[in-house]
Amino acid sequence: MSAEGEANGKRATLLIGAPFIYAAAMLVVPIFTIITFSFWTQNYLDIDKNFTWANYIAAWSEPIYTTLMWRSLGISAVVTFFTVTLAYPLAYYISFHVPQERKTLWLFLITIPFWTSYLLRVFAWKIMLGYNGVLNSGLIGLGIIDEPIRAMLYNVNAVVITLTHAWGPFAILPIFVSLEKIDRSLINAARDLGDAAWRRFYRVILPLSMPGVIAALLIVFIPTVGDYITPGLVGGKDGVMIANMIRLQVSKANNWPLGAALAVNAMIIVAILSVTMVVCLRAFIKRIR
């Protein structure tokens, strides 16, 4: 190796070293701790450190845990679908129809909700959907209903609405970036070759923006499976998700190993589903091309 190469190597080690140690300490170590815990047993106030699969067996056999896991995956899938479906047209509009000098302003406007905390945005939905909330008072004021509707808050729908709103920008930004990168001459070429608007979109724009869509799908799907604040605040008794159960195990229910096993389990399921999703979408793109 040349002297210059060696210096570069050293510089690289220095640059990567600090973040690497930080990531290892804050991510790898805790994850291994959780995995270790998941094979132990809670014995009232102590931990029995004999190896056991019992927590995983419970996670896969007891209806309460399997139901909550499936419900969480279902809610996340619906949220991801709505978020990405709503985000795509918006990103498309900004990329193709907003004048170049205004684009930054538009993106900036989209990030405005992030000026307040996530918790406040969830509470805002509570005010919107609540029994004496904005929607109900509005409908009563207009004379459409006499009694406030109870069915808007404290159920799965409220969780889906809140999460879809909260994660919108995370879907818009990656899709926008991938739309921006599309070479406009390709679209002109498609037009010159006789493709109508719909075919131009389906054969050129959509496949080329797919990396952004895949990123958006993953960015929304993975964290929403593990969300517990939104179901905790607007989910009521029917919108409980797996993360609420994990939190319960390490708090009130006093069973850290079971909580750890549920967490590891959720992590594995989400990882498998995400990889499957990416592989399927790649195949889909190939097919349209």
- Is residue 84 within 8 A of residue 220, CB to CB? The reply is yes
Among 170, 223, 236, 267, interactor with other proteins by CB under 8 A: 236
Which residue's CB is nearer to other proteins, number 178 or number 255? 255
The reply to whether 33 sits near other proteins by the rule CB under 8 A is: no
Among 186, 238, 279, 288, interactor with other proteins by CB under 8 A: 238
- Rounded Cα distance between 267 and 270, Å, is 5
The reply to whether 262 sits near other proteins by the rule CB under 8 A is: no
Q: Which tokens belong to 223?
A: 């964290």
Which residue's CB is nearer to other proteins, number 248 or number 267? 248
Which residue's CB is nearer to other proteins, number 130 or number 212? 130
Q: Within a 10 A sphere around the Cβ of 236, how many other Cβ atoms?
A: 15
The reply to whether 237 sits near other proteins by the rule CB under 8 A is: yes
> Which 152-191 residues touch other proteins, going by CB under 8 A?
154
3-state helix, strand, coil in the chain (%, to 5): 75, 0, 20
The reply to whether 250 sits near other proteins by the rule CB under 8 A is: yes
Q: How far is the CB of 282 from other proteins (least distance, A)?
A: 36
Amino acid identity of residue 178, one-letter, is S
The reply to whether 198 sits near other proteins by the rule CB under 8 A is: no
Amino acid identity of residue 113, one-letter, is P
> Which 37-66 residues touch other proteins, going by CB under 8 A?
44-45, 63-64
> Which 92-111 residues touch other proteins, going by CB under 8 A?
101, 104-105, 108
Q: Is the Cα torsion angle 251, 257, 260, 261 positive or negative in sign?
A: negative
C-alpha closest to that of 80 among 155, 171, 205, 154:
171
Which residue's CB is nearer to other proteins, number 35 or number 248? 248
Which residue's CB is nearer to other proteins, number 133 or number 211? 133
- Rounded Cα distance between 64 and 119, Å, is 27
Q: Within a 10 A sphere around the Cβ of 77, how many other Cβ atoms?
A: 16
- Is residue 111 within 8 A of residue 196, CB to CB? The reply is no
Among 68, 179, 204, 270, interactor with other proteins by CB under 8 A: 68
Among 115, 197, 283, 286, interactor with other proteins by CB under 8 A: 115
Q: How far is the CB of 287 from other proteins (least distance, A)?
A: 41
Run of H or E including 46: strand 46-48
CB-based contacts of 85, cutoff 8 Å, min separation 6: none
Which residue's CB is nearer to other proteins, number 184 or number 237? 237
- Rounded Cα distance between 153 and 225, Å, is 20
Q: HSE of 288 in the Cβ direction (CA atoms, 13 Å)?
A: 17
Among 2, 61, 132, 185, interactor with other proteins by CB under 8 A: 132
Which residue's CB is nearer to other proteins, number 59 or number 220? 59
Q: Binding residues for other proteins, per CB under 8 A?
A: 44-45, 63-64, 67-68, 101, 104-105, 108, 115, 130-132, 148, 150, 154, 236-238, 240, 244-245, 248, 250-254
